[in-house]
Amino acid sequence: MSDGAGEFGLLLKPSATVLVVLDYQDDLLNTLPVATRDELAVSALALGKIAKACSVPVLFSSLASEAFHGQTWPPLRDLFPKAPEVRREHINCWDDPGFAGEVRALKKDRLLLAGLWTEAAITFAALSGLELGYQVYVVTDAVAGMTASSHEVAVDRMVQSGVVPVTWRQVLFEWYRVAGPQDGPVSQALLAIAREHGLGLGQPFSNND
């Protein structure tokens, strides 16, 4: 897919990005209120479909999955059956050499984070990623905290430190912009995702093909 107008460096580009999914695990998801869990599921699947359509690499990591937190949520994991998954013991994924090695091997400079919990693994990953020189984006509607207030405080802290908040809808629109011809497979896949999730895109809209 084309990167289009590359001079606009503040916009997300699929070719520079890796989607990092942390701790979308059964036992953790089941602690969320039903409404929150349902909303998170919609956002996570939409984000995953967008990444898949744009050939963005995905790295999964799960915390103590064998001991007590369960496996990565199957509907999301099944979108990327060949994607690596780092099973770790540390809340901060960067404390695990295996995780750091997987990220370095992808040779991307922008990290797009989704997962649980906002005030723990997501915050640690985001702030540590900044210190390591990455540009870090958190998909705020594809992460959740233990409470709504702790989620909000964690997002505020990350933003004040230089992390960029986005939503899956923003990601879709920014990546559609560089998806190539409107009748091409990437553009059509993104349009289908948009319509599936009620964005009201009944007709194709302009991108920089």
Q: Give 128's contacts (C-beta < 8 A, 6+ positions apart).
A: 92, 94
Residue 3 CA to residue 12 CA, distance in Å, equals 10
CB neighbour list of residue 97: distance below 8 Å, 6 or more residues apart: none
pLDDT number for residue 127:
98
Q: How many residues does the chain have?
A: 209
Strands 135-144 and 110-116, bridge-based pairing: parallel
Q: What is the CATH number of domain 14-196?
A: 3.40.50.850
3-state secondary structure 79-145: CCCCCCEEEECCCCHHHCHHHHHHHHHHCCCEEEEEEECHHHHHHHHHHHHHHCCCEEEEEEEEEEC
Query: 146 phi and psi, to 5 degrees?
Result: -70, -30
Confidence at residue 70, expressed as pLDDT on a 0 to 100 scale: 63
Residue whose C-alpha is closest to residue 175's, from 7, 43, 9, 15? 15
Cross-strand pairs, 85:
60
Q: What is the pLDDT of residue 198?
A: 77
Query: What is the rounded CA–CA span in Å between residue 135 and residue 160?
Result: 14
**Helices (DSSP H) in 11-54: which residue ranges?**
26-29, 34-53
- Predicted pLDDT at 63: 85
Residues 74-95 as b or e (16 or more Cβ within 10 Å = b): eebbebbeebebbbbeebebbe
Q: What is the token pair recorded at 24?
A: 């979308």
Cis omega (within 30 of 0) for bond into 117 = yes
Number of C-beta neighbours around residue 192 at 10 A: 13
Q: What does each of the 209 residues of the chain score in pLDDT, given as a tens digit?
A: 544 445 688 899 999 999 999 998 877 887 888 888 888 889 999 999 999 999 999 999 988 755 555 678 888 989 999 999 998 889 999 999 999 999 999 999 999 999 999 999 999 999 999 999 999 999 999 999 999 999 999 999 999 999 999 999 999 999 999 998 888 999 999 999 999 987 755 444 445 54
